[in-house]
C-alpha cells in the first residue's frame, strides 16, 4: 500500500529547517523527507516543537532558516492559503472551526476553493450540486450528517474534533497534516477516527502528530521522533520501537 520502502517521489521535503522565537530555538535544524503516499507520524514529548513544525510547513509561521518543498517546489515563506492551494490541508491541535456557522456551512466553506468557486459572488451556492454532494460526502465520513444544521460551536467536543478533520478533508488536498486528531477522544471515538484516517489517507500522503502509541504503530508506515526541536530518529515502527535513543529520550518515560 505504501511506497515508503520503495523509494517513491518526495511529497514534502524539509531541509535544515529552523525556527526561533526571540532567542529561543524551538526547531533546530530539521531534515525530513515525506514520500508520496506514505503515512508518517511525528511523535515526541510535549513542547518538543511538533505543532510548531506543522505551523512552519503549513505557512502559519515563517521559518527562521531552511527550506520547505512541496512536490519538489519551494514553498518556503508562502502564505497558508497559497500552500493550501498547492494541495496541502491541515487540522489543528486546538479545535479551530467556524463556531457560529452551521456544521454544513463549515464543511461547505472548506470545499469551495478547491472546487473552483473562489470569490464567486454571482452564483447561488445552494444550486451548486458538486459542492453539495462533496459536503454531504465529508459529513458522512465524519459522522455528522445528523448534526448538519447545528452551530458548530454547540457540538460536543469529540464532534468538534471530527469537524476539525472534516475541514482538512474537504479541500481534497494530496497532503494531509493532522495535529493530534485523537486528542481528548474516548476509546470508541478514537477507534472510529483511526479507521477514518486510514480510509481517507489511502490515496494521499499523511503526516500526523499523535501521542497514542497504539494508534501510531498501527497506522504509520514511518515514524519520526522529535525531541527538543531535533529529529533523533526516523524509521519504520518496528525499528523505532527497538531504537535505544528513542527508548531513552521518549518511549521509556511515556510508555512504561
Partner 1 sequence: MSDTSDTVVRPAGFPSGAAPGPLRRYGPWIVLALLLLVLPRVFSSGLSISTMCVMGTMIIFALSYNMLLGQSGLLSFGHAVFFGLGGFLTAQMMNMMAGGEGPLPLMVYPLVGGLAGLVFGVIFGAVATRRAGTAFAMITLGIGELVTSSALILRGFFGGETGITVDRTEIHQVFGLSFGPQVQVYYLIAGWCLVSVIAMYAITRTPFGRICNAVRDNPQRVNFVGYNTTVVRFIAFSLAGLFAGIAGGLASINFEIMNSAQMGAAESGSVILMAYIGGVGNFAGPIIGAIVVTYLHLMLSDLSDVWELYFGLLFISMVMYAPNGIAGVIMMQRPLIRRGQLLRVAPYYVLALIPGLVALAGLSMIIEMTHQLSISASEGLGMTMMGIAFNADALLPWLTAVVLLGGGGWLGVRAARLAREAYGAAMVRGRVQ
Ligand X SMILES: Nc1ncnc2c1ncn2[C@@H]1O[C@H](COP(=O)(O)OP(=O)(O)O)[C@@H](O)[C@H]1O
Contacts with ligand X, 113-152, as mask; x by CB under 6 A: ----------------------------------------
217 interface partner picked from partner 1, ligand X, Mg ion, none, CB below 5 to 8 A per type? none
- The verdict on 21 binding ligand X (CB under 6 A) reads yes
Q: Would you give the distance in Å from CA 79 to the centre of its chain?
A: 17
Q: In the bound complex, what is the minimum distance in angstroms from residue 102's beta carbon to partner 1?
A: 10
Burial class of residue 237 (count of CB atoms within 10 Å of its CB; 0-12, 13-18, 19+) = middle
Q: What are the grid coordinates assigned to 124, written together?
A: 447561488
- Taking the least distance from each CB to Mg ion, the nearer of 169 and 209 is 209
- Per DSSP, the chain holds a count of helices (H) and strands (E) of 10, 10
Q: How many residues bind partner 1 (CB under 8 A)?
A: 56
CA pair distance 132, 128, nearest whole angstrom: 6
197 interface partner picked from Mg ion, ligand X, partner 1, none, CB below 5 to 8 A per type? none
- Residues 173-189 as b or e (16 or more Cβ within 10 Å = b): bbbbbbbbbbbebeeeb
- Residues 49-64 as b or e (16 or more Cβ within 10 Å = b): bbbbbbbbbbbebebe
What is residue 184's DSSP assignment? T
Contacts with ligand X, 22-51, as mask; x by CB under 6 A: ----x-----------------x-xxxxxx
- The verdict on 1 binding partner 1 (CB under 8 A) reads no
Q: What are the grid coordinates assigned to 87, written together?
A: 494541495
Q: Work out which of 128, 176, 194, 207 binds partner 1, going by CB under 8 A.
A: 128
Phi-psi region of 228 (alpha: psi -120 to 50; beta: other; left: phi over 0): left
- The verdict on 108 binding partner 1 (CB under 8 A) reads yes
- The verdict on 120 binding partner 1 (CB under 8 A) reads yes
Q: Work out which of 6, 46, 94, 126 binds partner 1, going by CB under 8 A.
A: 126
| Site residues, Mg ion (CB under 5 A) | 51, 93
| Site residues, ligand X (CB under 6 A) | 21, 26, 44, 46-52
Amino acid at each position: 500500500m505504501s511506497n515508503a520502502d520503495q523509494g517513491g517521489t518526495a511529497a514534502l521535503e524539509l531541509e535544515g529547517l529552523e525556527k526561533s522565537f526571540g532567542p529561543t530555538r524551538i526547531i533546530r535544524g530539521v531534515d525530513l523527507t515525506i514520500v508520496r503516499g506514505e503515512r508518517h507520524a511525528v511523535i515526541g514529548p510535549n513542547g518538543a516543537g511538533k505543532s510548531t513544525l506543522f505551523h512552519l510547513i503549513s505557512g502559519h509561521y515563517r521559518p527562521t532558516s531552511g527550506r520547505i518543498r512541496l512536490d519538489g517546489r519551494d514553498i518556503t515563506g508562502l502564505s497558508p492559503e497559497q500552500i493550501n492551494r498547492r494541495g496541502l490541508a491541515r487540522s489543528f491541535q486546538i479545535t479551530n472551526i467556524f463556531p457560529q456557522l452551521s456544521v454544513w456551512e463549515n464543511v461547505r466553506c472548506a470545499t469551495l476553493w478547491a472546487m473552483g468557486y473562489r470569490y464567486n459572488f454571482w452564483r447561488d451556492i445552494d444550486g451548486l450540486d458538486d459542492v453539495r454532494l462533496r459536503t454531504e460526502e465529508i459529513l458522512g465520513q465524519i459522522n455528522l450528517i445528523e448534526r448538519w444544521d447545528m452551530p458548530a460551536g454547540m457540538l460536543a467536543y469529540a464532534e468538534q474534533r471530527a469537524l476539525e478533520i472534516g475541514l482538512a478533508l474537504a479541500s481534497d488536498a494530496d497532503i494531509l497534516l493532522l495535529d493530534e486528531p485523537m486528542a481528548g477522544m474516548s476509546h470508541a471515538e478514537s477507534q472510529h477516527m483511526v479507521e477514518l484516517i486510514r480510509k481517507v489517507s489511502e490515496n494521499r500522503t499523511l503526516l500526523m502528530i499523535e501521542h497514542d502509541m497504539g494508534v501510531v504503530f498501527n497506522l504509520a508506515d514511518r515514524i519520526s521522533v522529535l525531541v527538543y526541536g531535533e529529529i533523533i530518529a526516523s524509521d519504520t515502527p518496528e525499528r523505532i520501537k527497538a531504537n535505544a535513543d528513542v527508548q531513552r529520550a521518549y518511549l521509556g518515560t511515556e510508555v512504561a
